[in-house]
Chain A
Amino acid sequence: MYTEKVMDHFQNPRNVGEIAAADGVGEVGNAVCGDIMKIFLKVKDGRIADIKFKTFGCGAAIATSSMVTEIVKGKTIEEALQVTNQAVANALDGLPPQKMHCSNLAADALHKAIEDYHNKHGK
């Protein structure tokens, strides 16, 4: 039911973990199935220097978390804000229809982490 890319990110998730003194942290809970995803950012010169995630959820939730960190690592904050849920799903070659809400989690958590960074840094 999952694509090879989903299974790859599920089996070998990129950027798992936490960042101790993160510049921004975003957490979202999924109202539908009750999963939780947390994203930690380190920002340097307007770019995402480091990013890590922790996720409690299904295969799609883990794969989208991993993929979103891979997509935005090294990108500017502005570029990261452009990343959509659909883009994350597309980068994984798609998700099963009933799992599409899981990809909402990934981009939402990223955007929340950026919001937190902006709040902390007075933007």
Chain B
Amino acid sequence: MNRIYLDNAATTPLDPKVLEAMLPYLTEQFGNPSSIHSFGRETRKAIEDARAVVAKEIGADAPNEIIFTGSGSESDNMAIKGVAMAYRDRGNHIITSAIEHHAVFDAAHALEKEGFRVTYLPVNAAGLVSVAELANQITDQTILVSVMHANNEVGTIQPIAEIGRILRERKILFHTDAVQTMGSIPVNVRDLSADLLSMAAHKFYGPKGVGALYVRKGVKLAQLIHGGAQERNRRAGTENIAGIAGLAKALQLANAGLAENQPRITGLRDYLIGRVLDGFDHVRLNGHRTQRLPGNANFSFEFIEGESLLLNLDLKGIAASSGSACTSGSLEPSHVLLAMGICHEIAHGSLRLTIGKSNTKEEIDYLLTVLPEIVTKLRDMSPLYNSSRKECATCTLKR
């Protein structure tokens, strides 16, 4: 069976050109970058070259504003906990949003246990935070604001540049989780006025297990991992040289391909969204209609449950994801959908399809031919369907 991968927000395949850039550091160039001999010097150079590439790609002033990490989650934790602990004497208040990835969300929760006060900004039905509300929540105790560039589930892109401008004026540090936007839309730390920014290579056709954090010059960070002097004393541990080289190459390629890929992927997304909204009853689009990631389509099919939908799609060779409680491990529905005012029943039927650079219109058409039979089969099995063909009463959202 032909398999169709529509889960590019979860991770992306490694670009063969990226693999090529990584291979020397998995084979002949094995030196420890901290060693002073020639073996060490060549891998040290690879890391510093990669750092310069990443700095340039995101508009940083200097290469040493880039810290390489082990994942997007680590970058987020380093930013949130690192700033909180370093600026503790200045204030104890942090502002973030209700729809952050768990790497930020749970790091903020952990800080609450340490005595910090955290404000979780609500979002509207489209998943947008209100800039005015954010400004309202600032106190003289506020040391850090963290709002994600785009949401991984519903794809909504936040007004980060506007938020960044306000915070720069108020002299409050600003972190943004750009894990989903990096390589998908232009990301520039100067345009966004970000002081800290997270990325993860595997979301833009790079390797898994490597990320980076941009930290603007002059921003202090408490260290999370103690030990050696790597990353200018900010993250101990012998570097993942192949991963770092891969991240830089992947970012370069992704940005070089933006002009072609961004409009093409956006076109496929809009085609998919249009066909699904026109073709099905009792379906809604989650997230903002236009202000969303190029590849993200997130629907809720009322009266059916997401895991059943995913299993049926998988049997047809299609890979997707869902915010349903039944798929979450914790058996809690997605906190993102709930924060957008979507009730449990509708969150249950959510289906996230995320398009990547190698997906084709033929693949979307194949999806569109198998989806109706699956939805019909599950609705025929659903005790909710015939009895209540009406608006969900508990949702604040209207279709």
Bound together, the chains give a CA A7 to CA B327 distance in angstroms of 16
Count chain A residues whose beta carbon lies closer than 8 angstroms to a beta carbon of B: 24
Q: In the complex, what's the smallest C-beta–C-beta distance from A34 to chain B, in angstroms?
A: 5
Partner of A56, one of B305, B311, B327, B329: B305
Are B315's CB and A11's CB within 8 A? yes
- Asked if A33 lies at the interface with its beta carbon under 8 angstroms from chain B, I say yes
Expressed in whole angstroms, the Cα–Cα distance for A10 and B381 within the complex equals 11
Q: CB of A108 within 8 A of chain B?
A: no
Q: Which of A54-71 contact B (CB under 8 A)?
A: 54-59, 61-62
Contact call A58/B305, Cβ cutoff below 8 A: yes
A34 to B307, CA, bound (A): 13
B residues within 8 A CB of A98? 329, 331
B215 to chain A, nearest CB (A): 38
Q: Is A27 close to B, CB under 8 A?
A: yes
Q: Looking at the complex, which one of A27, A32, A54, A62 makes contact with B308 (CB distance below 8 Å)?
A: A62
> Which of these, A13, A27, A34, contacts B325 with CB under 8 Å?
A34
Which residues of the partner chain B approach A58 to less than 8 Å between Cβ atoms?
305, 307-308, 324, 326-327
Contact with A along B60-103 (1 / 0, CB 8 A): 00000000000000000000000000000000000000000000
User: Roughly how many angstroms separate A56 CA and B349 CA in the complex, as a whole number?
Assistant: 10
B383 touches A55 (CB 8 A): yes
Among A7, A13, A35, A37: residue with most chain B CB under 10 A:
A35
One of A7, A27, A38, A57 near B326 (C-beta < 8 A)? A57
* A56 and B303 within 8 A (CB): yes
Q: Which are the 3 A-B pairs with shortest beta-carbon distances?
A: A58-B326, A54-B383, A33-B325
- Interface residues, chain B, CB within 8 Å of chain A? 303-305, 307-308, 311, 315, 324-327, 329, 331, 333, 344-345, 348, 380-384
